[in-house]
Homo-oligomer: A and B are copies of this chain.
Amino acid sequence: MARSKEQNERMRETRKEKIRNAALLQFVKQGLSATRIQDIATEAGIAQGLLYHYYPSKEEIFVDLINDALDKTIEASYSVRDMETGPGEKIRFALERLVETIEHSQTFLDTCRLITQATNSTAIPQQAQVLIQEKRNIPYQVIEKIIAAGQIEGTIVAGDPKMLSIFFWTSINGLAIYYSTNNNREVKLDYRVIASMFLIKNEKEEEGEK
């Protein structure tokens, strides 16, 4: 016998992650189809042959990445849902954090780009399509419920919660997509502009700003 089983497993997983990171970079820049195995291998600093010891194809890497990306957005929406505050404050806080994240986290932008890319293409693996089908709507549903609760609470504007949830996520996603190619450091984003679509204006707070 040579190496211990667990040690091997760990090394293997580390290397796979290195490959996934390299692939993510390339997929986000070029898209799945335009990315060649060679591109991923070069980015990861390995020979293309080695890649096949870890993944049978670039499509399999894509499936792993899409799964991770979808889980991340679902987790983020759950952490908002589980906050110990009222629904209005949840929406305010979530938008504040999301806008901040768009400005500062390249990983978040990559995640948004990958999901948008996958959602808008039929040229992706069957497995990825299934994952999107299963998971994509969860964040929309989570926000929809918070908005409905906020309307009862009296802190969120009237209107179909489904529609408001669509506006919530499409604004954030549109912004992330834009920022991923225009890292516009001259402009500081104010999340309260987006928040004003959802939150009923509080007279006192408005006074405070002036």
Which A residues fall within an 8 A CB radius of B? 29-35, 113, 116-117, 119-123, 157, 159-160, 162-164, 166-167, 169-175, 177-178, 180-181, 184, 186-190, 193-194, 196-197, 201
Contacts and interface: CB of A to CB of B under 8 A. Distances in A.
Contacts of A33: 30-31, 33-34
B167 A123 contact: no
A45 to B, nearest CB: 20
Complex copy number for this chain: 2
A159 B175 CA distance: 17
A113 B120 contact: yes
A162 B182 CA distance: 13
Given A30-B33, A170-B174, A172-B174, 7 more contacts: A116-B120, A120-B177, A157-B193, A160-B187, A162-B186, A167-B194, A171-B175
Contacts of A181: 119-120
A124 to B, nearest CB: 9
A39 to B, nearest CB: 10
